[in-house]
Structures are given as structure tokens and as C-alpha cells.
Structure 1
Amino acid sequence: MKIEQLRIAGLRCFSEATLALDPGINVFAGDNGAGKTSVLEAVFLLSHGRSFRSGAREALLQRGASGLSIFAELRHADGRLARLGLGRTGSRWEGRIDGLNAPLGELVRECAVVCFDPGSHALISGGAEERRRYLDWGVFHVEHQFLSIWRRYQRALKQRNSLLRSYPLPADALFLPWEAELAQTGQQIDQQRQAYLDLLRPRLARSMQGLLGELGALELRYRRGWAEDQELASQLRVQRERDVTRGHTTMGVHRADWTLAFEHAPLREHLSRGQGKLVALACMLAQAELYAEHHGDWPIVCLDDLASELDQAHQRAVIGQLVGASAQILLTGTELPVAMRDLPARVFHVEQGELSRLL
């Protein structure tokens, strides 16, 4: 898929900007703080309904603006053109597809974007939430029922947590239906996650071999969030007293995690910061490849400040793989990366919310 036209209004430093993107490589160059990353952020918002920047929710809106909007014309591999819109007034997001109101779930299913940025190493070195988010994005684009099941699970989790905090403690009969719902939907989510990881493993191994072959064989370990040899429903009943003490549900798919181990770096603490970035990048590329194989269409790839995150050899390897796959690339930097100077690219200069095309 390729974005042909992009329009941004009221996002961070952009009062209004309209640009036509190249189907191949697009570079956004400018000084630090000029607004380059915000262009990638706009595209990512269409695909995820959130920013890839941590703590960015309240900072998205331009100072003094009443709302923000993002519009894109998206060309799919089959030639179909989708007109996508995302707007926010206050705290409420609204999506549109081809001029009609659309739930955010439909909007993010229509537009797929993967991103590598300076914070991506958190996928490897950070908490489990980031890894669950990565995993669930992939499952969402493979399993059409995943979102509805996930929402049912979240509703049951919220209700059980509310009961756990009630005083006096409610009777067992009030817990049982919510625990049954958690167990049923949790089992489905767990099965879908494991099936997705089975598909991802060989692609991840290939991607990792190309970027960090010196680490040796790869092992992907998955923990579903409760004991492997027991049913979730029975575990919830047994652990209810402990959960009352803690005030929240301590087991379930919301506690799941996955980790990577290497033959020559069995613990993530054995990885350097640079290696952690390359592992995160390999995860992104493997997920993009799996998406492309499933949909027949590569997701849009955003690479934020690539030159400061990777050495030139790895830059060339990554860009070469993406160009070979005919993926649309959106890349930022203070200047055109050396590794790309012999490749055709559309280059934009960004300065304080103003965009101008250089090449």
C-alpha cells in the first residue's frame, strides 16, 4: 500500500500541510525540532489510533488549535484507492473512510504502518506492555475476530477488577460470570497469539540472521499469563483472595509476555543498546514481511532518524531489503543519509511546520 496524498492540520507544529508522496522512498530532512517526526507520526496515527511517541496524547494538538485532522489517499496493491480521515476534537477521535464515518477499528485495519524510531529498543529492553502491543497489532491484521474478542476480554477484566475493589466483598456469584468470560475470551486470544507467533518465528529468524547473525540461533519464548498446566477459570477462583489484596487481576492474557534469547546472548541484559535496536528493527521487518505475505501488500514503513540509530552498513541492508520489496518508505534525518544518496528518493525540507520539496 502507498499513500499518494497526505494532509495534516493542527498536529503539533503543523497548522496545515499537504504533500504528494512518492511510492518508493520519501525523506524528510531538517534541523532537530523542525517537525520531521510529526509527519511520520501523522501516518502512524492513521494506522494505530495512537502515537509511537511515549506520553504524546496531550501534546499532539497544536497550541491554540481547536482540533487536529489527518487525511490520506491510500492506494492498495489491487489498485483500489481509499480516502482515509482521522480527526480529534477534545479527547474524542473520529474516523472516516471514503467520506463516511467509520469506527477506528475499521480505519486502522485499512491502513497498515510499521515504525522504527529511537524508542523502538523498548520493545526488547522495556516492559511487557510494549511487546503485547506489537504482538496484538500483528494478530489484529491476521484474525478478523480478534478486536471484538479483545474488547470482550477488557470489559470482563474491568468488571472483575471493580468487584475486587468493592467493600464489602461481593458474593462469589457476582464474580463467576465475569471470570467465565475472562477464561473463554482469554483462551481464544491466547490461541490466536500463539498461532501468530508460530507464523512469525521463521521470518524473525531470517531477519535476525541478516542483521545480527553473530548472535547465533534464535529462540522465541512466550508466556501466556497464567500457569501452562491449568485452566484460567480455575486459576482466577483460586487466586481471588490474593487479587483482592492487590486490587487487580494478576493473571490472564493481559499479563502475557514474549522474549527473545540468542545462542550467544541468552538474556536480554547481554545485548548492548545498539544490538537491542537491531533486534527491534528485525522484529519490525519480520512483522512487515508476514503482513505482506498474508495481505499481498507491504505496510508503509516509517524510519525515524535512521542515520543516528544505525551505522551505514545496516542502513544499506535495511533500505535494500525494503526497496527490493517495493515498500513505501518514510524516513527522517537532519540530512539525506549517506547510504541513500545513490537511490531515487523524494526529499522534503521541514522547517517549523513548513514543508517544501527539494528533490
Structure 2
Amino acid sequence: MKIKQLQIENLRVIQTLTLEPGNGINFICGPNGAGKTSVLEAIYLLGQGKSFRHAEAGPFIRNGETSCLVVAETDDRLARSSRLGIQRGRKSFLARHGGIDIRRRSELLRLLPVQIITPQSHELLERGPELRRRYLDFGLFHVEQSYHQVLMSYQRGIKQRNAALRSGNGRLAISFDEQLAGVSETIVRLRRGILETIESNLARFMQEMSFPNEVKLQFSPGWKEDVSLEKALKGHLERDLAQGYTSVGPHRAELKILVGGRRAEKYLSRGQQKVLVYGLVLSLSQLIVEKEKEPPVLLIDDLGAELDTLNRTRIVDYLSGREEQVFITSVDQPANIHDRDNAVFHVEHGCLQ
């Protein structure tokens, strides 16, 4: 997916801004507080229906205004043009594509797939397994048409089973086990199916970054694999009744990221963690491209955060010539910015210079 034109109104410091980005790397430069990150926030809002900085709409609506508006003219990989827009009030949400209202957030995710790397992205390694499950599910959502429905079916089943557990009704809880086990087989199979490709893409990226250690991805489905999930659910019933929730299943899956056989978050420096996060995000994006799906728009907030000059140069080199459209914010222009056919924009006080 490519954004041909982006219009932003009343988002943080931006009153009105129109941007016509290039198809490759777009550098958004300017001093702190100028509104650079707000441009990325606007794109993320279009693709996700929310901000990556705040869960609520209020903080990103310009002071004194009741709503913000973001509209994009886009081209897909078949060169079909369309218009996507979102208006967010503090308690209201309106999204349209081609003049038709969008009712579900999943529709936005398909219309404008977006990946983002921020100064906080090391949390993908350091926080609990939920973020890494979301990482896998993002890729599957975009390469396996049926995955979203399968995952929703599983989540509905877990919600019903948990309600039965909280009410103390073990017999009712057990009645969901067979259905959950069947759906879980599909989820685990698909999650495992993309890991080999991600790991292969990641190895190539880390080699280009001259990363000194081998990175391995180790997946656990969410229960001990020497038994079926249905047996595992029955075996944990007493504990689940006491706790009021289901303790085994794909919602408890874990993706461990190992470097030299050790957990990455415990072994790597913060700068090395950031390089690894770039590798994980770009490897997943490459998987989507290889499956001939819509390439995600890649957002990078603060290129210089945790990266030295050499790694910043390597990242830009790696991104050049790829299918993804990229938006990068930076206080200063990278040294190699003019070595390629890149677009450069300067933002000051919420205005495009």
C-alpha cells in the first residue's frame, strides 16, 4: 500500500497539513515538538483507528477543537486508487473508505496495514508474551485470509469458558473444551507456519547489520505438547476454577527470542535490542511481501534513538529499494540521505516547510 497524499487537520500541534510523500523513504525532519511524530500518528490512526501514544482520543485532538481529521489518497499494489478517512472526536469515531462507512477496526487493518518502530519498541523483547503473540497475529492477519475469524472464534470460546469458570460451573466449562481444542490446532499450525520464514528473513537482516550472534525464535503453543489441548484443559480444570480463568491454550503461547542461546532482553544492550527489533519488524513485513499481499506502510519514530551512526546508515541502506513505503522522523537529516531517491520534509510548529 502506498499513500499518495495525506491531509491532517487538528491533530496535536498540526492545524492543517498536506503531504505528498514519495513511494520509498520519506524523511520527516525538524526540532523536538515540531509535529514530526504527529505525522506518523496520523498515518497510524488511519490504519489502526487509534493512536500509538494514547488509548483515548482526547490527548491527540488539537487544543480548542472537538475532533481531528485524517484523509489519505492511496494506491494498492495493483495501482488501484482509493480514499480513506477518519474523523475522531473525544467520544466519536467515523471512518470511510471510498465513501462507504467502515464499521469494524479489522477493515481498517486490511485497508492500510501499518507497522511502527518507536523508542519504546524494545518492549517487544522486554515485556510479557502478549506483545509477541500480537506480532505473530499481525503477520497472520495479513497473509492468511481466514485467520482473523479463527482467532475470533477461539477468543469467544475462551470468554465463554472463563465466564463458566468464574460462576463455578465446571461442567459448563468442560463443554467448550472440544471446540477450543479444534480451533487451537489451526492457530498453532498457522503460527508455527510463518515462524520459519520470519527466522530466515531475520537471519539475512542480522547478517547485513553485522550482528555478532545467531538469533533463534523458539515457540511454545501455550500448553505442554506431550498431551492434547483437550486433555490439558481437563487436567487444569481444578486450578482454572480456583483462578477463574483458563490457564492453558494459544492465548498463553510464548515466542522466545534467543541470542546465542540466551534470552535477548537479558543479554543484549539497548542498542543491540533496537537492531533486533528492526529485524523482527522488517522480517515480518518481508513475509507479507513474499506472500504477495499488500506491503505494510512502515513508520519509524526517531531514527536515532538507541542507534549509533553506523547502524542508522545500515538501516537506511537496507530500507532503500524495498517495496514498503517508509516514513522516518529524525531531528537531523541522516548523513546518507541524499545518496538515494528519497523525499525529505521539514516540519516546524506543525507546519510543513
* TM-score of the superposed pair, with normalisation by structure 1: 0.90
State how far apart, in whole Å, the 1-side matches of 2:261 and 2:175 are: 47
Superposed CA deviations along residues 14-53 of structure 1, whole A, max 9, x for unmatched, are 3332221122232222222222112112212323334333
State how far apart, in whole Å, the 1-side matches of 2:58 and 2:173 are: 36
> In structure 2, do the counterparts of structure 1 residues 61 and 237 end up closer, same or farther at CA, with 3 Å as the change threshold?
farther
The count of corresponding residues between Structure 1 and Structure 2 is 352
State how far apart, in whole Å, the 2-side matches of 1:225 and 1:176 are: 18
- The answer to whether the 8 Å contact 1:95/1:104 transfers is no
Alpha-carbon offset, residue 123 of structure 1: 1.0
SS of equivalent residue, structure 1 residue 214: coil
- The answer to whether the 8 Å contact 1:125/1:276 transfers is no
Q: State which of 179, 183, 194 in structure 2 corresponds to 1:196.
A: 194
Q: Which runs of 5+ in 2 are unaligned?
A: none
How does 1:153-172 map onto structure 2 within 5 Å?
153-166=154-167, 169-170=168-169, 172=171
Match of 1:245 in 2: 242
State how far apart, in whole Å, the 2-side matches of 1:141 and 1:338 are: 34
Alpha-carbon offset, residue 258 of structure 1: 0.6
- The answer to whether the 8 Å contact 1:306/1:331 transfers is yes
Match of 1:66 in 2: 66
SS of equivalent residue, structure 1 residue 115: strand
> In structure 2, do the counterparts of structure 1 residues 193 and 18 end up closer, same or farther at CA, with 3 Å as the change threshold?
same
Superposed CA deviations along residues 82-103 of structure 1, whole A, max 9, x for unmatched, are 2112333445544322111233
Match of 2:36 in 1: 36
Superposed CA deviations along residues 123-160 of structure 1, whole A, max 9, x for unmatched, are 11222111111111001011111111111122222222
SS of equivalent residue, structure 1 residue 151: helix
- The answer to whether the 8 Å contact 1:96/1:107 transfers is no
Give the AA of the match of 1:288: S
Q: State which of 209, 212, 229 in structure 2 corresponds to 1:211.
A: 209
State how far apart, in whole Å, the 2-side matches of 1:310 and 1:339 are: 15
How does 1:1-359 map onto structure 2 within 5 Å?
1-53=1-53, 59-91=59-91, 93-102=93-102, 103-166=104-167, 169-170=168-169, 172=171, 174-215=172-213, 217-263=214-260, 265=262, 268-295=265-292, 298-352=295-349, 354-357=350-353
State how far apart, in whole Å, the 2-side matches of 1:333 and 1:207 are: 22
Alpha-carbon offset, residue 312 of structure 1: 2.0
> In structure 2, do the counterparts of structure 1 residues 16 and 159 end up closer, same or farther at CA, with 3 Å as the change threshold?
farther
State how far apart, in whole Å, the 2-side matches of 1:143 and 1:269 are: 33
State how far apart, in whole Å, the 1-side matches of 2:293 and 2:187 are: 25
SS of equivalent residue, structure 1 residue 28: strand
State how far apart, in whole Å, the 2-side matches of 1:62 and 1:242 are: 49
Alpha-carbon offset, residue 121 of structure 1: 0.9
SS of equivalent residue, structure 1 residue 5: strand
SS of equivalent residue, structure 1 residue 305: coil
State how far apart, in whole Å, the 2-side matches of 1:181 and 1:91 are: 37
State how far apart, in whole Å, the 2-side matches of 1:296 and 1:256 are: 26
Give the AA of the match of 1:72: A
State how far apart, in whole Å, the 2-side matches of 1:40 and 1:68 are: 14
State how far apart, in whole Å, the 1-side matches of 2:257 and 2:278 are: 13
State how far apart, in whole Å, the 2-side matches of 1:86 and 1:145 are: 26
> In structure 2, do the counterparts of structure 1 residues 351 and 244 end up closer, same or farther at CA, with 3 Å as the change threshold?
farther
Give the AA of the match of 2:197: L
Give the AA of the match of 1:59: P
- The answer to whether the 8 Å contact 2:125/2:264 transfers is no
State how far apart, in whole Å, the 2-side matches of 1:142 and 1:23 are: 22
